[in-house]
Amino acid sequence: MTAQSTYSSSDDFFVNTADLSARRPPPRSKNPVVLFLKRPIVLISLYLAYIALIFVKWDTLKDWLVADILNRPASEIGNGLEAMWLALWVALPYFIFSIFNAAKIQLRLRIPFFRNIDFLRDIAQVVFLFVVVAGLYTLALNVMDNTQIPINWNVVSRHFPVEVSEGPDFTKEISWLKDIPIIGNRLAKADVLQPGTTTRALITGLINTLRAVILALVFSTILGVLIGIGLLSNNWLVRNVSAVYVEIFRNTPLLLQLFFIYRGVLGILPTAPKDAYKFGNFYLSGRGLNFPKVLTTDSYPYFLMGIIAGLIVGIALWRWRLRVQDETGKPANTLIWFSTAFFGLGAIGLVLAFVTGGTPFELENPTLDRFNFVGGSRWSAGYLTLVVGLTLFTAAFVADIVRAGIQSVSHGQIEAARAHGLTSNQTLRLVVLPQAMRLIVPPLTNQYLNLSKASSLAISIGFYDLFNVATIVQNQTGQAVALFVILMLTYLVISLLISLLMNIINRSLQLKTR
Amino acid sequence: MSEKIHRPDETFYVAPKEPPASRRPPALTIGPVGWLRKNLFSGVGNTLMTGITISLIVAFLYELITWSIVKADWNVVNNTMRLMMVGLYPIDQIWRIQLIAVLLVFLSGLGVGVWGGNARGFFIISLIIIIAALIIPLGAERIEPPSIRFIVTSTDPNGPILFVGDEGDTVGLTVEPIDDNAVAKQESPFTGFIENSAGASSSRALWNNAKAQVVAGKLDLSQYNLQMTVQLLDSKGKVLDESLSTPAHRVVNFEFKLPANGWYIVQVLRDDTGDAIFSSVDGLQLPVAAARALPNTGFAWVRIDGVNAMSAQQADVEQRTKTYGGLPTIQCPSTAECRRQLLEENVRYEGSRTFKAFLKTQLDPFLAEIIQALIVGFVVMLVAYSLGNFAKQSRNPASKKLVSRAAIIGWVIFFPLSWMLLSGFKNATTLHPFLELPQVAQSLWGGLILTIVLTFVSLTFAFPIGILLALGRRSKLPIISLFCVLFIEIVRGVPLITILFMAKFIVPYFAKSLSDTELLIRLLVGLTLFTAAYNAEVVRGGLQIIPKGQIEAAQALGLNPFATNVFIVLPQALRAVIPAIMSQSVSLFKDTTLVSIVGLFEFLGMIELIVNGQQVYRPYQREAYLFIGVIYFIISYIMSSLSRRLEESGAGTVRKMRKA
């Protein structure tokens, strides 16, 4: 609210300009009490004291601040409604203050109130807020009255009755929970984290969602970049095939694509494991894909240490070479230095591992038991469909973004780079891509967000993602409100995390101006 | 003086056979050969890429075309066309939808006629005609529509076994209780199991369960005492033959000579209660599970000899017999193969069809379905186009004005009129009793028409709400702007399906009256709010590119904020964002498919209901999905090419102004 005693020039045309006395500041009060009270620090302290009072004494205050007004016992008032009322009471002095201020100015101005834009604005906001709060309040009351089953947040600690065949087993105890310092013991005893609870099932669902989203993100980026380059190819055929791909996948619904993959492609494969299509140690059947699992052995830490050391030394060398280039102008050859260090130290780690205790990795191949595969890893048909479907769909959008980004780099830039004697590879790497990336990253972020949200379509193909698990709970308990709040918050957090990550990347790519 | 020696090569110039490289003519760059060289074979890598791409395309297209002509059975599309397009809309009321489609074609034709149109305009018009022709199946009554019973998924797992037989076939029927534990312990005593249309693998699950218990020694099959009645019924449910098991003869075994071509039912009933004790339709041999905790219970397997094919649904068999005249025979070498065949080949047509047969059995029914509508659509479009074009070219400017005004008014009243036609209305005044249309419940709407309704209604309402949200977000008033930001970001941060689920489950709690509201309305509200949030961001982008000078100039002229926004800012901003709004509409059109998850049967949901809920059509999922994929593609393509066209033509005056 703009309850100031002076006016900004943009608001002037609403004020009766003939009355110039309106612009004169009001005479300052001489009363020491008023002067004391008007100090910002005092006002803020008073306000903070009021808030403190409300918060500390809420348990007793709410009887007459909420329950009496609503005319119903405090025990019947839900948490959400109570929080809303709390917020209202906390914000109340602010409203009173601003209305009082607006009224004061209005009185002093002696212009009609309907021409005083500040007054109108404040009133409009208060009315708007009143409408919104009243609307939400009515809705909340109605939800309380109409739900046959009262909203119960304890639904998260209930037993989850359905078997979730994907992801970490939620019926087992989390063994590492106790090892967490300080809070470990408390967490292990928490009701909601006991094996078999709804929370655990929701966590499993969340992990499944993330598994699918992350894999689809990576694959769709790779495929999208390839097709995007195809869209810019000199080859007419490649260009048009890429364009047809993009058009087809952009112009048909994702859900249809998922159904087609799930039922039309995977659904017609033989379901019996022994009839599965075999590619080496990969078995593809109607039930999913079975493939070798990579296991680490005792000598694995040596290899890991070699890799990590290689990475650290490599990055240090990279930076050093860049500094040398800045200082002396000699070619940096960062990639050569980095890869030498990385692969060299990695190889040393590998040799160490072999010397001390054999191979660092072992492959556990899936083998056919009587009816099913034993050992190895497995991607279920639902997971496979979700990853493939999301990848193909998003890749079409990514391809178009990549094409637009590269095309937007002006041709003069490329010509200038050539004139400076850069090779075509260098032109691409040092001139075109850095500029294109700036335009690619923001829309790419949007696509990634879309992908993470679209993963909730897993419910249509029976994959146990977060949304599917939550829907099962909702069907079992009827706790729609509680579960949708949890769902929305989780998806918001996922979206925010992706945005954050992409914003960091975006910032590192932006032009650095000094 | 030495005699000059004549050396011909010094005296005469002998042209080399090949000119030196510098003198060779440059490679051809014009004409088809030049084009090919430039675009496909400009280098080694390029040539290699061309080769790989061509071979991939050829392989893919060859597979696709041969499959769709030789093997695919498009009758799933032909037979269910009406369901797909208009859902369960009553047949006698379909003329309303036909009227809407004719109006749509007429208005499109008029628009292109008056406001001009190029080749792409005609292309779009013809696609609209095709869509309209699909929506108005004038020959609807000719095709037997699948009855309601068909599209409701059976929840009864005790479906009977059906099989097809020809007249004079001798069918051998054997039903034998399993009372030997050794048999149960064998790895695979039965050839196969098959899920029925309810999707319940109940017989298999029951049997596996029992088997595990037998192996564990917890269950003794010999203790069971299953007594049953085996009946053979014809397709009308008349009992042709029946046989009972007795304690002495526990195996029921009889032969029967079939009286006519057709399909037959085998029913196994428990002797004491008369309940059906089948759990599942199956192949040649299967256990009949009746693992109820009753004395007369147990497992049995059934064998039917001398039968060509078995299926779960009568209509499929009839359809196949009608279409192909014959039936494939099942031969399964292994359990899994048999099971797969039963799922697939048993019902699927697996043979090679000639192109002629394809035309006759596949394309002909499809064309017969739409040809009348196509002709009507074409004629209506032609009339409308000529009318519009005539008015455009006439010397009298008033006539052009009149027709173009009529077109605009037509479009404006088209949407509410369509809604009224679809839902019907009661006579309000009682003065005109003929002004009454029977009301059609919204739960009966479905198919493509529902998809279109969802898209257009939510677009129409989302647009103004989106503008308000965008203005609110840019507002200087902190509370309003905070509210708009919160709304937009929360809606954009969660998946659409969450919002739809909320509209279905939580909105009824908001008010007592809302729980009686049709699901369609609630979902429409959800879709509208979702689209509005996205539209708001697009409009905000448009608002941001309006130069500040415009607003200042408006203020200098004495316009108030409302007038500034309505007459100065919004017209420019909205023109600039029309292409973006259009592509937003495309994604909305695709997103309407999600309502099928929450229980409305729009286009994709209808297909799901048809191909997944029904044993008959289950093997033809690929055909159905491909068909609706093409329709979705056509409509989305119309919309996105419109958006691209608007973008190319520089829809925004802002852009033109900036260039100037």
Tens of pLDDT, residue by residue over B178-235, are 666 776 666 544 433 333 333 334 455 556 666 777 777 776 766 666 667 777 777 6
Q: In chain A, which among 488-507 make CB contacts under 8 A with chain B?
A: 488, 491-492, 495-496
* Beta strand ranges found along A110-196 (DSSP E): none
Greatest mean pLDDT among A273-277, B34-38, B425-429, B499-503 lies in B499-503
Q: Which is higher by pLDDT, B497 or B638?
A: B497
Distance of alpha carbon A255 from alpha carbon B597, whole angstroms: 10
pLDDT band at A85 (very low <50, low <70, confident <90, very high): confident
For chain B, say whether A386 makes contact (Cβ under 8 Å).
no
- Give the per-residue pLDDT at B158: 42
Instruction: With residue A339 as reference, give the H or E element that holds it.
Output: helix A334-357
Greatest mean pLDDT among A92-106, A123-137, B584-598 lies in B584-598
C-alpha of B155 from chain center: 24
Nearest of B466, B465, B462, B460 to residue B416 by alpha carbon: B460
Q: Which is higher by pLDDT, A6 or B210?
A: B210
Phi first, then psi, for residue B434 (nearest 5°) are: -75, -15
Checking if the pLDDT of B530 tops 90, the result is: yes
Checking if the pLDDT of B129 tops 90, the result is: no
- Å between B357 CA and nearest CA of chain A: 24
Checking if the pLDDT of A69 tops 90, the result is: no
Distance of alpha carbon A498 from alpha carbon A21, whole angstroms: 55
Instruction: Kindly determine whether residue B511 and residue A255, on different chains, have CB atoms separated by under 8 Å.
Output: no
Location of each CATH 2.60.120.380 domain in chain B: 160-311
Q: Does domain A202-292+365-509 have CATH number 3.30.70.980?
A: no
Checking if the pLDDT of B658 tops 70, the result is: no
Checking if the pLDDT of B160 tops 70, the result is: no
Residue from B185, B332, B481, B510 to probe the interface with A (highest A Cβ count within 10 Å):
B510
- Å between A236 CA and nearest CA of chain B: 5
CB contacts of B478 in chain A (<8 Å) are 1, 125
State in Å, rounded, how far the first CA of chain A is from the last one. Answer: 36
Of A336-350, B401-415, B429-443, give the lowest mean pLDDT range: B429-443
Instruction: Kindly determine whether residue B632 and residue A252, on different chains, have CB atoms separated by under 8 Å.
Output: yes
Distance of alpha carbon B131 from alpha carbon B627, whole angstroms: 13
- Give the per-residue pLDDT at B595: 92
Nearest of B367, B362, B389 to residue B125 by alpha carbon: B389
Q: Is the ipTM of this complex over 0.85?
A: no
- Give the per-residue pLDDT at B539: 92
Q: What is the pLDDT of residues B403-437, one digit of tens each?
A: 888 888 998 898 888 888 888 876 655 555 566 77
Checking if the pLDDT of B285 tops 50, the result is: no
Q: What mean pLDDT do residues A81-107 have?
A: 78
Q: What mean pLDDT do residues B238-247 have?
A: 76
- Give the per-residue pLDDT at B69: 85
- Give the per-residue pLDDT at A370: 67
Alpha helices in B152-233 (DSSP H): 181-185, 202-215
Going across the sheet that includes B161-165, the strands are B239-244, B228-234, B262-270, B161-165, B309-311
pLDDT band at B353 (very low <50, low <70, confident <90, very high): confident
- Give the per-residue pLDDT at B327: 36
Phi first, then psi, for residue B255 (nearest 5°) are: -115, 150
- Å between B261 CA and nearest CA of chain A: 30
Greatest mean pLDDT among A50-54, A509-513, B505-509 lies in A50-54
Q: Which is higher by pLDDT, A465 or B154?
A: A465
Q: What mean pLDDT do residues A171-192 have?
A: 76
Of A220-234, A419-433, B501-515, B607-621, give the lowest mean pLDDT range: B607-621
Q: In chain B, which among 513-552 make CB contacts under 8 A with chain A?
A: 515
Residue A269 burial (CB count, 10 A):
16
Instruction: With residue A378 as reference, give the H or E element that holds it.
Output: strand A377-380
Distance of alpha carbon A200 from alpha carbon B621, whole angstroms: 36
Share of chain B above pLDDT 70, in %: 63
Distance of alpha carbon B126 from alpha carbon B112, whole angstroms: 12
Q: Which is higher by pLDDT, B225 or B629?
A: B629
The structural domains of chain A, with segments of one domain joined by +, span: 9-146, 202-292+365-509, 300-357
CB contacts of B638 in chain A (<8 Å) are none
> Between A146, A251, A454, which is nearest B636 by CB?
A251
Of A120-124, A381-385, A468-472, B144-148, give the lowest mean pLDDT range: B144-148
Phi first, then psi, for residue B337 (nearest 5°) are: -65, -40
> Between A146, A252, A253, which is nearest B512 by CB?
A146
Q: Which is higher by pLDDT, B403 or B254?
A: B403
Phi first, then psi, for residue B298 (nearest 5°) are: 150, -165
CB contacts of A490 in chain B (<8 Å) are none
CB contacts of A259 in chain B (<8 Å) are 604, 608, 621, 625
Checking if the pLDDT of A208 tops 60, the result is: yes
Q: Which is higher by pLDDT, B338 or B178?
A: B178
Instruction: Kindly determine whether residue B497 and residue A484, on different chains, have CB atoms separated by under 8 Å.
Output: no
Residue B182 CA: distances (Å) to CA of A220, A262, A353, B178, B224 = 53, 39, 52, 10, 15
Q: What mean pLDDT do residues A429-450 have?
A: 89
Phi first, then psi, for residue A284 (nearest 5°) are: -110, 120
For chain B, say whether A112 makes contact (Cβ under 8 Å).
no
Instruction: Kindly determine whether residue B483 and residue A132, on different chains, have CB atoms separated by under 8 Å.
Output: yes
Residue B640 burial (CB < 10 Å; 0-12/13-18/19+)? buried
Checking if the pLDDT of B292 tops 60, the result is: no
CATH topology assigned to domain B160-311 = Jelly Rolls (2.60.120)
Checking if the pLDDT of B578 tops 90, the result is: no
Q: Which is higher by pLDDT, B353 or B68?
A: B68
Of A48-57, A353-362, B519-528, give the lowest mean pLDDT range: A353-362
Residue from B499, B592, B593, B630 to probe the interface with A (highest A Cβ count within 10 Å):
B593
- Give the per-residue pLDDT at B652: 44
The residues facing B301 across adjacent strands are B176, B287
Greatest mean pLDDT among A294-298, B209-213, B230-234, B569-573 lies in B569-573
Question: Over B264-313, what HEC string results?
Answer: EEEEEEECCCCCECCCCCCCCEEEEEECCCCCCCEEEEEEEECCCEEECC
Residue A116, C-beta contacts closer than 8 angstroms, at least 6 positions apart: A14, A15, A105, A106, A109
Residue B55, C-beta contacts closer than 8 angstroms, at least 6 positions apart: none
Q: Which is higher by pLDDT, A376 or A200?
A: A200
Phi first, then psi, for residue B494 (nearest 5°) are: -110, 155
Residue from A259, A371, A446, A481 to probe the interface with B (highest B Cβ count within 10 Å):
A259
Checking if the pLDDT of A140 tops 90, the result is: no
Alpha helices in B545-650 (DSSP H): 548-556, 561-563, 570-591, 603-613, 621-648
pLDDT band at B11 (very low <50, low <70, confident <90, very high): low
Residue in chain B closest to A146 (alpha carbons) equals: B509
